[in-house]
Chain A
Amino acid sequence: MNLYPNAAELLRAVAALLDDEVMPAVPAELAHKVRVASNVARIVGRECELAEPAANAERLALAGLLGHDGPLAELRSELSARLRHGDPALEHEAWRVAVEVTRQELAVVKPGHDRWEGK
Chain B
Amino acid sequence: MTPGPVGADGADLAEGLTKVLSETWGTEVEVANLAASSAGARRRNVAFDATPSGLPAAELVVTVVPRGALGLNSVTAEAQMRRTARDHGVPVPEVVVASEDESTLGGPFFISERVAGETVPRRVLRLVHETGIGELLAGQLGTALARLHRIDPADAPDGMLDPGARPPSEAALEDLETSMRELGVLDRPALALGMRWLERRLPGTPDRLSVVHTDVRNGNLIVGADGLRAVLDWEGARRHGDPMEDLAWPALRMWRFREDRFEVGGFAAREPLVDAYLAAGGDFDEERMEWWKVLGTLRWAVGLYAQASAHLSGTFPSIIMAASGRRVAEMEWDLLMLIRP
A interface list, Cβ under 8 A from B: 27-29, 32-33, 36-37, 39-40, 43, 73, 76-77, 79-81, 83-84, 86, 91-92, 94-95, 97-99, 101-103, 105-106, 108-110, 113-114, 116-119
Q: Check B333 against A114 for contact (C-beta < 8 Å).
A: yes
A36 touches B337 (CB 8 A): no
Q: CA–CA, A99 to B337, complex, Å?
A: 9
In this complex, the member of A40, A79, A102, A109 whose beta carbon has the largest number of chain B beta carbons within 10 angstroms is: A102
**What are 29 A-B residue pairs whose CB atoms fall within 8 Å in the complex?**
A27-B5, A36-B320, A40-B319, A40-B322, A40-B323, A43-B323, A73-B187, A80-B188, A80-B189, A80-B191, A81-B192, A84-B192, A84-B195, A92-B341, A94-B193, A95-B193, A95-B340, A98-B190, A98-B336, A99-B333, A99-B336, A102-B190, A102-B336, A109-B329, A109-B330, A110-B329, A116-B253, A119-B253, A119-B338
Is chain A's binding surface mostly helix, strand, loop or mixed? helix
User: Would you list the 6 A-B pairs with minimal beta carbon distance, nearest first?
Assistant: A105-B329, A83-B192, A84-B192, A80-B192, A116-B260, A76-B187
Instruction: Give the docked Cα–Cα distance between A92 and B332 (Å).
Output: 16
Shortest Cβ distance from residue B53 to the other chain A in the assembled complex, whole angstroms: 34
Known contacts A39-B323, A83-B193, A113 near B333 by CB under 8 Å? yes
**B186 interfacial by beta-carbon distance below 8 Å:** yes
Q: Is the CB of A97 within 8 A of B189?
A: yes
Q: How far is the CB of A30 from chain B (nearest CB, A)?
A: 11
The listed residue (B186, B196, B326, B329) touching A40 by CB distance below 8 A is: B326
Q: Give CA–CA (A13, B166) in the complex, Å.
A: 53
| Interface flag for B26 (CB, 8 Å) | no
Measured in the bound complex, the distance between the Cα atoms of B186 and A73 in whole Å is 11
Residues of B with C-beta under 8 A to A36 = 319-320, 323
Given that A40-B319, A99-B336, A102-B336 are contacting pairs, would A76 and B188 also be in contact in the complex, using a CB cutoff of 8 Å? yes
B11 at the interface (CB under 8 A from A): no
Q: How far is the CB of B129 from chain A (nearest CB, A)?
A: 18
Q: How far is B341's CA from A92's CA once the two chains are assembled, in angstroms?
A: 7
Smallest beta-carbon distance B326→chain A, Å: 5
What is the CA–CA distance of A28 and B5 in the complex, to the nearest angstrom?
8
Encode B265-300 as 1/0 by CB contact (under 8 A) with A. 000000000000000000000000000010000000
Report B86-99 CB contacts with A as 1/0, cut-off 8 Å: 00000000000000
B314: chain A residues at CB < 8 Å are: none
Q: Does B327 contact A (CB under 8 A)?
A: yes
**A105 surroundings in chain B (CB, below 8 A):** 329, 332
Question: What distance in Å separates the Cβ of B40 from its nearest Cβ neighbour in chain A?
Answer: 12
Min Cβ gap A13→B in Å is 18
Determine if B337 and A98 form an interchain contact, defined as CB atoms under 8 angstroms apart.
Answer: no
Q: Is the CB of A95 within 8 A of B323?
A: no
Instruction: Report Cα–Cα, A29/B8, bound state, in Å.
Output: 12
Q: Once the chains bind, are A119 and B188 in contact (CB under 8 Å)?
A: no
Report the separation of the CA atoms of residues A83 and B339 in the bound assembly, to the nearest whole angstrom: 14
Report the Cα distance A118→B252, complex, angstroms: 11
Q: Are A106 and B333 in contact (CB under 8 A)?
A: yes
The closest CB in chain A to the CB of B251 belongs to A119
